[in-house]
Amino acid sequence: MTSAVGSTPSGAPTRAGGEDRQAPVRPHRKRWGRTAGWLGWLWVLPALIMYGFFVLRPLVTTVQYSLYRWNGIGQAEWVGLHNYLTVVTDSDLLKIISNAFILIIFFSFVPVCLGLLVASLVRRLSAGPFGTVVRTVLFLPQVIPLVAAGIAWTWLLSTDGLVNQILRAVGLGGITRAWLGEFDTALPSVGVIGTWVMLGLCTILLVTGMSKIDPALYEAARIDGAGPVREFFAVTLPSLRQEIGVCLTVTIIAALASFDIVYISTSGGPGIQTTVPGLEIYRLAFSQRQVGLASALAVVLMVLVLACVLPIQRLTREDKA
């Protein structure tokens, strides 16, 4: 029964043939089609109002602010695209943006690669108690506030923390340091926190995806003489396109829009070594009172997120039914 025809008001006129076949119920469905069609908006409206008022409106306002010099209190001064010019020429702001891209390596690239490695080794997470415990534990970083992850890792990476303790225990006492406090190691250390948060989610998503692959594909590959490596590239990787796309999307957004972890673990320091756009927007808008510049940076951040995420979506989802 092609029920969609009659109940889709906009589709009904063009598909008269479908309606003829269903003549007996037509009066009812026609009436519903006309009245409930527009009345149906009553169902959608509350969500749209909240979305419009608390997301779309501020979004437009951000773009508007970005064209002004404004300290948040006094008179705003129209400066056109000047704030954007500052964002793309100021060396500090460029470094801050590049920091976010370096974090992508840790938030996104490493978890996805490690996740793929682990997932291909595990293939099917055993359904027994071992599997349940593993799943539960690996999801813990997703469940706790990122702030708590930041605090835990600040302690772990501190001078007296576990990381240095382990290094000393294995005879690498020479390289111990305050990992989050030194110029060379601060950003990678923040990145490691992100890896810890994202790794479990990526692993489980990839394992889930892998469990849906037809085992016959693997058997065929093995019979053809493929080793684990060839098997991975010939069977596993192509079958996981969608899951990899999801992992990349989620983690890249988390890296570019990171705030909580950085705010807690380093506040952007030392210098601006670990400052990320999210933190800089917060600082510019609420401590430096440069609302216009903060907004321009916000718009740039949004564009960067879209520029990274949309191609991934397109590449990994095109064959989705």
Residue 93 half-sphere exposure toward CB, CA atoms < 13 A:
18
The count of other CB atoms within 10 Å of the CB of residue 212 is 10
CA dist 114 and 27 (Å) reads 59
Classify the C-alpha dihedral 76-77-79-83 as positive or negative: negative
What distance in Å separates the CA atoms of residue 19 and residue 172, rounded to the nearest whole number? Answer: 78
Nearest approach in angstroms of CB 91 to other proteins is 21
Least Å distance, CB 85 to other proteins, is 19
> Nearest CA to 263 among 275, 281, 247?
275
| Close Cβ partners of 24 (under 8 Å, ≥ 6 residues apart) | none
Q: Which is nearer to other proteins, 48 or 315 (CB)?
A: 48
In sign, the C-alpha dihedral spanning 265, 269, 273, 277 is positive
3-class secondary structure, 11? coil
Residue 217: count of CB within 10 angstroms of its CB: 15
Q: Which is nearer to other proteins, 8 or 81 (CB)?
A: 8
* Cβ nearer to other proteins, comparing 249 with 273: 249
* Listed residue (157, 153, 152, 160) closest to 185, CA to CA: 157
Minimum CB separation of residue 271 from other proteins in Å reads 20
Q: Least Å distance between CB 105 and other proteins?
A: 18
Distances (CA, A) of 1 to 21, 151, 225, 305: 10, 58, 49, 43
Q: Which of 6, 162, 187, 23 is nearest to 104 (CA)?
A: 187
Q: How far is the CB of 55 from other proteins (least distance, A)?
A: 5
Q: Which is nearer to other proteins, 186 or 206 (CB)?
A: 206
**In the complex, minimum distance from the CB of residue 187 to other proteins, in angstroms, rounded to a whole number:** 19
**Which is nearer to other proteins, 106 or 263 (by Cβ)?**
263
Tokens read off for 83: 């704030």
CB of 65 to other proteins, least distance (A): 7
Burial of 253 (0-12, 13-18, 19+ CB in 10 A): middle
CA dihedral 8, 12, 18, 21 (to 10 degrees): 90
Least Å from the CB of residue 70 to other proteins: 10
Q: How far is the CB of 204 from other proteins (least distance, A)?
A: 7
